[in-house]
Amino acid sequence: MQFNVVVQGPGRVHVSAFGGSDKSGWVIPVAYGGWRLYDASGQQVDFFTRADLGFASKDMLKETNIEGLVPGASYTIELISQDYCNNKGAFRQAVTMPGATAESNAPSVSALSLVQVGFMTGSSALRFSATDDSGIERVSIFINGVLAKEYRYADGVSFRWWCDEYPVDGVQSTLEGPNFYWKYPGSTYAGAATVDVVVEDVLGNQTVSSAQLYL
């Protein structure tokens, strides 16, 4: 398989795989570590996915987003694909990110909510979605004004990968899209609490989403 790279901002790209053929007529991105990212020196700095996935569609990993890329830096993106008999092939493409230029488009952040995770009743996680056209650099979660969790990107080490809808079914599930799920530790249990999520893009624009939640 090959792929196209669309640079969507100084810290974000969208990759879209296509083609690929063999006798089985079944070629897919490798489920574990099929997408790989290398820096300008050729060193692998990240990969996606980090776990084996059960396939709902053979197209489910063909559309992938990468955020946290450093503005002005050069990278090589690699896709490892495989056929039905587990034979593998690789395709690489180089990309240089544009430099950061001023813009005032703030990140888009959803309302905050709690969702049940796992099989234990009452085991909940904070869920929200966040996107930005230039790329997200930092996500900070505050409980009653105290920083409880922080995600940092655009440091050359940490990257955020996420998938759009599966192209075949056209329906976004809870495991797809630009979602964050944070299973807050017991130390943050506070009954009714003020939860603030601050999202900052690579150009310094910020959006705050707040809610009163029962942790």
Rounded Cα distance, 2 and 31, in Å: 16
pLDDT for 173 beyond 60: no
Q: Is residue 21 part of a domain?
A: yes
Nearest to 111 by CA among 124, 129, 136, 125: 129
Least confident among 116-120, 133-137, 152-156? 116-120
Same domain membership, residue 78 and residue 156: no
Least confident among 41-45, 48-52, 200-204? 48-52
Same domain membership, residue 179 and residue 85: no
Same domain membership, residue 204 and residue 118: yes
Last residue within a domain, chosen from 63, 96, 129? 96
Q: Is residue 102 part of a domain?
A: no
Same domain membership, residue 169 and residue 87: no
Same domain membership, residue 91 and residue 11: yes
Q: Is residue 202 part of a domain?
A: yes
pLDDT in tens, 151-162: 999 898 999 998
Strand pairing category for 192-201 and 136-143 = antiparallel
Average confidence score pLDDT of the chain: 87
Beta bridge partners of 200: 138, 206
Given this model, what pLDDT does residue 118 score?
65
Q: Coil, helix or strand for 188?
A: helix
Q: Is residue 84 part of a domain?
A: yes
Q: How confident is the model at residue 103 (pLDDT cuts 50, 70, 90)?
A: confident
Q: How confident is the model at residue 175 (pLDDT cuts 50, 70, 90)?
A: low
For the beta carbon of residue 203, count every other beta carbon within 10 angstroms.
Answer: 21
Same domain membership, residue 120 and residue 142: yes
For residue 138, give its domain range.
108-214
Given this model, what pLDDT does residue 74 score?
97
CATH number of the domain within which 197 lies: 2.60.40.10
Q: Is residue 101 part of a domain?
A: no
Q: Is residue 147 part of a domain?
A: yes
Q: Is residue 103 part of a domain?
A: no
- Count up the domains in the chain and report the number: 2
